[in-house]
Structure 1
Amino acid sequence: MGSAFAESPTAPPEQPAVAPPVKGRVFLTTVKPADGSVAKVYRVGDRHVEADVLAGGTRLDTLVGKGGKGGKGGKGGEGGKPAYGQNHGLHVALRPDGTVTSWIEGCGRG
């Protein structure tokens, strides 16, 4: 008496697809903050993004968003919280997913 499974070929279990780690800064998008400057957003690693905020070709700031699920909140975007920067009334927030929000002080968020 044989087993019903004895003649079945054994296939290795499927492995979930894993994206290779990101090496260096990979450009994601360009965003125009509320004052008309430019924010260039880059993916640097898993749950790590950066945005260079530029005005007239001059870099005003680089925001760094790190973190995500299960982390602790804090400065610099850890734990999924946005990283913030400001310059002469312009406020810019960078979330770890790469989205950028900006507003001008006294004008509300946009």
Structure 2
Amino acid sequence: MSGPSRDAVTSTIIAAPRQRVWMALTEPALIQQYFLGTKVTTTWRVGHPITYSGEYNGRPYQDKGIILACDPPTQQFDSGRSGAVHRGVGVGSPESQRTS
């Protein structure tokens, strides 16, 4: 591959309690429900491996990375796809921390 690298960045606001969002982002059974059946294997400890695996368009895939940061329930980052950070999550903002 030649030329400049390209980054894809997205964000969304989820109207749910912080702990519930954290669970959706870190519980393998929940990840599998919304992430195209992807199986996630990790300990969620910084420096430990993380593996995303499954099947896409009839072909098996496996993406490996390292947990770079994990601070429940506020952030989780890991590396993968040739070392690029591909999953960075900031759970909640000061506004979303308010309780009703």
User: Does TM-score exceed 0.5, indicating one fold?
Assistant: no
Point out the structure with max Rg over C-alpha.
1
Using structure 2 for the length normalisation, give the TM-score: 0.31
